[in-house]
Amino acid sequence: MRVNIDVDQSRCVAAGHCVSAAPEVFDQRDEDGVVVLLDEAPAEHEHEGVREAALLCPSAAIAVREAERRL
Ligand code: SF4
């Protein structure tokens, strides 16, 4: 299974839960704490953290889409 991630920086309230849940995938801008997506299609071992980040985000700024891998 492959996941694709979209973040909506205009919704982000800089709570930082996403970075705690998946630090390899999310970061925060130094100047205002708004989310930065480091990897829009992360490896399998990151998926659990990514789903947790989407659930924890208080402003629903993270969208995770699952897609079957193309053969
Ligand atoms: S958890 Fe949501 S609101 Fe908080 S920094 Fe991440 S994207 Fe922004």
Residue reference for tokens 């993270």: 62
> Measured in angstroms, how far is the CA atom of residue 70 from the centroid of ligand 1?
30
Rounded to whole angstroms, the Cα distance separating 41 from 58 reads: 22
pLDDT band at 13 (very low <50, low <70, confident <90, very high): very high
pLDDT digits (tens, 9 = 90+) for 17-71: 999 999 999 999 999 999 999 999 999 999 999 999 999 999 999 999 987 766 5
pLDDT band at 1 (very low <50, low <70, confident <90, very high): confident
The pLDDT value recorded for residue 67 is 77
| DSSP characters over 12-58 | -----HHHHH-TTTEEE-TTT--EEES-SS--GGGHHHHHHHHHH-T
Rounded to whole angstroms, the Cα distance separating 3 from 50 reads: 9
Give the closest residue (by CA) to ligand 1 atom 1.
57
Ligand 1 contact, 9 CB (< 6 A): no
